Amino acid sequence: MKSKNKYWFKRKRYGYGWTPSSIEGWLLILAYLAIIIMGVILFSDKLESGDTLYSIGYLIFIITTTSILLLFTVRKAPKGKWRWGWKEGDNKSEDF
């Protein structure tokens, strides 16, 4: 039995990037936001102290979390490209 590759995200019709198009895509975005908010809450007291080590740790946390989000997005979305409307030959089922 073939497994159908269902996209979690679709390409934007104008510009570059993707938009969630399935429940999995929206859940991934919500999980990302929840993790970022949790990080802000956990790091906020330490960042106010002005300690450089905590600032670097927070920056690494944000970069790592965002990289994981982008990794999932690239794997679960059609190939990203700059777009300005539909062109002949575009697969409209991959576009938002």
Task: Say if 94 falls within a structural domain.
Answer: no
- Per-residue pLDDT of the chain (96 residues), as tens digits, is 344 568 888 887 788 888 888 899 999 999 999 999 998 888 777 766 777 777 788 889 999 999 999 999 888 888 777 777 777 766 666 666
Whether 2 is covered by a domain: the verdict is no
In the chain, the number of structural domains is 1
Q: Identify the pLDDT of residue 31.
A: 96
Does residue 20 belong to any structural domain of this protein? yes
What is the per-residue pLDDT for 27?
95
- What is the full DSSP assignment across the chain? -PPP---SEEE-SEES-EEE-SHHHHHHHHHHHHHHHHHHHHHHHHHHTT-HHHHHHHHHHHHHHHHHHHHHHHHTSPPP--EES--TT--GGGB-
In a domain, 3, yes or no: no
Count of C-beta atoms within a 10 Å radius of residue 40: 13
By residue range, what is the domain housing residue 68?
Answer: 9-75
